Structure 1
Amino acid sequence: MPKIFFSYKRLLIIGADAMAFTVSYALAFFLRFDLHIPLNQLANFLVTVWLVVGIRLLTFLYLGAYEGVWRYASIADLSTLLKAMAASQVVITAAVLFLQHANFPRSTLLIDAALALIFVGLTRFGIRMTRQWRQQGHPQDLPRLIIFGAGDLGETIVRDMQRRKRPTHKIVGFADDDHAKWRMRIHNVPILGGRKELPKLIEKHGVDEVVVAVNHSRGPLIQDLIELCRKEPGRKVEFKTVPTIEETLRSDHTHQKGFRRIELSDLLRRKPVATDLGAVKNLIAGKTVLVTGAGGSIGSELSRQILRFKPSKLILLEKHNTALFYIDRELCAVKNGTCLVPAAGDITDPDLLDNLFDAHKPQLVFHAAAHKHVSLMEANPQEAVKNNTIGTHLLAEKAARYHAERFLFISTDKAVRPTSVMGVSKRMAEMVIRALAPAAETKFLSVRFGNVLGSSGSAVNIFKEQIAHGGPVTVTHPEVTRYFMTTQEAVELILQACSMGSGGEIFVLNMGEPVKVADVARNLILLSGLEPDKDINIVYTGLRPGEKMYEELFRSNDVRQDTGHPDIFAALPEEADLAILRNHIESLRALCSQADPAPLLRKIQQLVPAYTPSAVHAAQPCPCDQPSAIAPVSDLAS
């Protein structure tokens, strides 16, 4: 049925063109002879009209002039039309002059060509205009929209919206910082002004939404636009954006077509991540891969991206059954031929690990399982060390014993000069990995990075929850800063680092510039359409045990090494750290079984002299005594 309908529409265009060619040829004779055609020239017309129309139609068909969908006409379609007209004109001139070389008015052929081009152009233009008029609907009832960015992305938005069967917005105009574009038009949509004029344009035209249509450096731009509109009293608007080219190419399932609301990640002052997909594919394709903590924020995204590169088998190790159920169900829906193995269990269980490694022989191990919440681990140091340090040691030994090719441990910026139990437990895990690297066939690697936006239990999610409840938003200190990265960016760089390492490296991801947590809270309030300190208050509660004012990615004694990738560096710690934990794992395990954490903390300080523990561990304050119903968090979990 669709093919018949398509053929029917094509026949209508061909019929319209046949009529246009006939009329243009007749009109050429009338114009040539001032509307009075002599009888001998009328005979010339009647003899040659079928030839002219036939040649034009055949040439148009041969050169593909009827293959385009004219509602989406482009420069390429116009070029095809001109080529078909020129080619047919050459053949017509030769044929007519050969058959009617005597007493034939040659000028009529030139007049006919010009008229025919005008008529077929009007036919196609009419198709587009009729469709647009039919679809305009009632623009006064639609949300009014300004597009900031009169470039390729903005033009694409207008073109797409003008093609829709049912309009969803009334486009008022563009705004752009390029003064040369002002008072010009794109698809008949005016460019009204620049950034500084935006508040006035919003008020003048009754704008409901502003869509930011730029591909690069959108974070600072969006912040400036929001701040400009916030300072000017008047109409409140909702800011939206569209997926960038990088997001579209990434084909991330979280990015939907069309407009989307501004997200916190859009405000980060970060450049797009460059990934060598070929190297990552060579690393993963056809391999058996184990991901621990596969149901967590990083582990689940790792599993999604690894699946894109078609490993032969993907083992999902997760101790939380519900998280494992959902990630397994999500990945099963992909159906790309990879064998998925959901494994419910804990990395501290040696029997489970033996069974997994014996049965599946994983070639690549991505270790994302961890206890990550700073405040909880301050109250439970034994559990932090048991899971983050001893569990990592156990898993790494199994990988070495079963000759895995690569083992990548996901660390944190809190491992640098740690002040928290969580951070120092991760630092000791880095030391475990460094200790095993020299003697093993397995290439042991670590990746260190900062906070992941929107990860489970992170401050961003808590801030959103507090805003939804009407506030206040609780931040520990007005000057506390953190590094931020999206989950997708972090995982892309993790995979890239794993493909680069030769064994023993601690890779450090380029986190960009640190951001004040208070600014994160303020931006989230603004993105919710509310005013900070007016609609929602920000309350400062003071640093909690284990928290730092700022995080670091390198220690002062670390040697920084260039890797050749702009977003990945290598940190080479002091040689004294390399094997320090090899003779102390059993001691740590014994201390973790004791009720009193004090001996364990003293042992940790002995092993990691840079660790400065919190003043209070045994007498932690009750979380219920905190000033907010939701405990304040400024340590966004990695």
Structure 2
Amino acid sequence: YLWRVYSFIWRFTGVREAFWIGCSVLSCGTIMLVSRVMLFEHDYTSLRIPYGVLILQPVLAGFGMIGARGLRRLQYQRTRRRNGSTKTSQARRRVLLVGAGDAGVRLAYELAQRPDFELVGFADDDPRKNGQRINGLHVLGGTAEIEALVEKHGIHKVVLCMPSAPQSVVRQIALRCRQIPIKVFTVPPVSEILLGHVTISSLRPVQMSDLLGRAAVEYNSKDSELIQRYRGKRIMVTGAGGSIGSELARQLRYFRPSDLILLDKDENGVYETALEVREDFDGKVHEVIANVQNVGRLGRIFSRTKPEVVFHAAAYKHVPMMEIHPSEAILNNVIGTRNLVDLARVCGVKSFVLVSTDKAVNPTNIMGATKRIAEMIVQQAACKNGCSYCCVRFGNVLGSRGSVVPLFQKRIEQGKPLKITHPDIVRYFMTIPEAVQLVIQAGSLGRKGEIFVLDMGDPVRILDLATELIELSGLVPNRDIMIEFSGLRPGEKLYEELLVGESSRSTRYPKIFIEQAIDGVWDGLDDTLQTLQEAAIREDIQGIYRMLGEMGIGYSHSADSSSQREPEKSKAKEAKGQRGKGRNLVQPATDLVQ
């Protein structure tokens, strides 16, 4: 009674219940043994119980109680499995688990409770496990034998139970399975399991973020410096309806700021972001519909909300579109940034973080040039005013609006060919959470206009990415789905760069590096921005091209910029080799501020 054994449900008896039953019978046996020694050793000899009986009684009682409950559990599981197999006999799928470690064993236990799966066994490269049985399942062989195991045992699905394995290993196994072809699933990353976001049995298809050749960059959400920087603060996020802005709002809420000010001109995006953030955020959420080009409207918003930290993610980002509409790119990306920086200075904003792009390095297109000028505006403000302003620069973001992977996936679903501009074009990739983590960390590190960059591993060739996506869909490239080359678009480069200067240094975050702030002559920048704004308002396109070319940022316009700016293949390979050494260093470039 004291151990509450009576409250256990027999059909759910497990190791924990068996432990408490053992404790209860051991306690009873101990009490009886002590009573025999203390009370019946010299008195009441007629009631004396032999010591052998006192020792055997709890052992037999324990085995009996656990055994009866164990039989009830087995009977329940068999009945449930039989009923499930009768209902879903046509839907049962034979599953091979790749990886016989902790994750694989736990997954096998959970999937055994589901009637729609029939577990066949494990595949594991540990020779000590080969031929052994784990939870009643055989280790059938190594990962090199997957094709033979699938054919021999009639496997329908393969589950990769290796949440901590190198991404290169996951990529190789997944692609081999897709070539059979057979459906491949994976368990969630260990970090998601430990944080309680998902369970071990939350299977999902292998995603491209699992296959890009490097582990995801993560940060400690309990970092004291991050908490001190953001907790209790009034934080504004511009572009809060977009991919980066909305993820910024999601992650910042866990630092418990007092206010989150979500600003965007996209009313639907702001509404959806605010709706999600409010679910588990105790502070105030301000939904603000505004255009960063409207300085009067921004001024009233700043006066009313009094932000202490600003994350500026609002920008036009599509390169081909901005080549067609350079005036709008100037007004939004450049003048909008200037408006926010000026208001941040007037209103005493303590920290300002600009979300930038790798296309700002030696820009060959309007979008990249406008983002480089935006960086210069932030750096100028930091140098002149001594504010904690900084920029964050990263590559292409997986899953963002208009990015290449969702576009490829959609065309594959429709059976249409994948169009690539050049067979040798390469790009850096990162996930949206990774990008936002870098932005949040940079907000705590920025002091004097630094530009923060992420060690993003090796750049990925877009042709390889397209080929893998087709194969991961169980199709054959250039047979089921064609790959076509359309030629580089105006302003497009074969490869992107992340640094513009020769010197960079590490930070306390191992994957984040700083390009030193450029000590340039800023006196002429304000006049140039005013002239640039006037040209954009007049839609003087040629004037915009001329002024951008005169600013010393590496930009020059031509009628066929794609052909004039296409780097040699040797340069691309050399830059790729330098990037592969662990840091994203590229060919040294001259200062962008003359």
- TM category, shorter: 0.7 to 0.9
**Map 1:424-573 → 2, pairs under 5 A:** 424-440=369-385, 442-555=387-500, 557-573=501-517
Q: Which moved more, 1:66-75 or 1:264-273?
A: 66-75
Q: Which amino acid aligns with 1:93?
A: L
From the superposition, tell whether residues 157 and 578 of structure 1 become closer, same or farther in structure 2 (CA, over 3 Å): farther
Partner of 1:202: 150
Q: Provide the secondary structure at the position in 1 that maps to 2:191.
A: helix
Partner of 1:89: 29
Partner of 2:216: 272
Give the counterpart of 2:81 among 136, 142, 146: 136
C-alpha separation in 1, matches of 2:99 and 2:558: 50
From the superposition, tell whether residues 145 and 350 of structure 1 become closer, same or farther in structure 2 (CA, over 3 Å): same
From the superposition, tell whether residues 518 and 579 of structure 1 become closer, same or farther in structure 2 (CA, over 3 Å): farther
C-alpha separation in 2, matches of 1:71 and 1:481: 57
Deviations 1:486-533 (A, max 9, x none): 101111221112112223111112222211111221222122222212
Q: Which amino acid aligns with 1:147?
A: L
Structure 1 stretches lacking a partner, 5+ long: 1-60, 619-638
Deviations 1:50-83 (A, max 9, x none): xxxxxxxxxxx43465566665655554444444
Q: Give the superposition deviation at 1:600.
A: 1.3
Aligned residues: 550
Partner of 1:344: 289
Partner of 2:544: 600
From the superposition, tell whether residues 536 and 146 of structure 1 become closer, same or farther in structure 2 (CA, over 3 Å): same
C-alpha separation in 2, matches of 1:73 and 1:443: 59
Q: Provide the secondary structure at the position in 2 that maps to 1:452.
A: strand
Q: Provide the secondary structure at the position in 2 that maps to 1:353.
A: helix
Deviations 1:320-355 (A, max 9, x none): 2222232233334x1532212111111010111111
From the superposition, tell whether residues 65 and 567 of structure 1 become closer, same or farther in structure 2 (CA, over 3 Å): farther
From the superposition, tell whether residues 263 and 71 of structure 1 become closer, same or farther in structure 2 (CA, over 3 Å): farther
**Map 1:35-184 → 2, pairs under 5 A:** 61-63=1-3, 65=5, 75-101=15-41, 102=45, 104-137=49-82, 138=85, 141=90, 142-164=92-114, 167-184=115-132
User: Any conservation in 2 of the 1:478–1:517 contact (CA below 8 Å)?
Assistant: yes
From the superposition, tell whether residues 283 and 256 of structure 1 become closer, same or farther in structure 2 (CA, over 3 Å): farther
Q: CA RMSD in A?
A: 2.4
Tell me which structure has the larger Cα radius of gyration.
1
TM-score (norm. length: structure 2) = 0.87
Partner of 1:25: none
Deviations 1:463-490 (A, max 9, x none): 1221122120111112111111110111
Q: Provide the secondary structure at the position in 1 that maps to 2:59.
A: helix
Q: Which moved more, 1:343-352 or 1:242-251?
A: 242-251
User: Any conservation in 1 of the 2:408–2:418 contact (CA below 8 Å)?
Assistant: yes
TM-score (norm. length: structure 1) = 0.81
User: Any conservation in 2 of the 1:416–1:427 contact (CA below 8 Å)?
Assistant: yes
Q: Which amino acid aligns with 1:195?
A: T
Q: Which amino acid aligns with 2:336?
A: G
Q: Is structure 2 residue 298 aligned with structure 1 residue 298? A: no
Q: Which amino acid aligns with 1:424?
A: A
From the superposition, tell whether residues 66 and 150 of structure 1 become closer, same or farther in structure 2 (CA, over 3 Å): farther
Give aligned-pair identity as a percent: 36
C-alpha separation in 1, matches of 2:71 and 2:528: 82
Q: Is structure 2 residue 286 aligned with structure 1 residue 322? A: no
Q: Give the superposition deviation at 1:140.
A: 5.2
C-alpha separation in 2, matches of 1:82 and 1:171: 32
From the superposition, tell whether residues 251 and 309 of structure 1 become closer, same or farther in structure 2 (CA, over 3 Å): farther
C-alpha separation in 1, matches of 2:439 and 2:347: 23
User: Any conservation in 1 of the 2:354–2:392 contact (CA below 8 Å)?
Assistant: yes
From the superposition, tell whether residues 194 and 187 of structure 1 become closer, same or farther in structure 2 (CA, over 3 Å): same
C-alpha separation in 2, matches of 1:173 and 1:413: 46
Q: Is structure 2 residue 234 aligned with structure 1 residue 288? A: yes
Partner of 1:365: 310
User: Any conservation in 2 of the 1:399–1:442 contact (CA below 8 Å)?
Assistant: no
C-alpha separation in 2, matches of 1:69 and 1:220: 45
C-alpha separation in 2, matches of 1:563 and 1:580: 32
User: Any conservation in 2 of the 1:428–1:608 contact (CA below 8 Å)?
Assistant: no
User: Any conservation in 2 of the 1:434–1:579 contact (CA below 8 Å)?
Assistant: no
Structure 2 stretches lacking a partner, 5+ long: 563-594
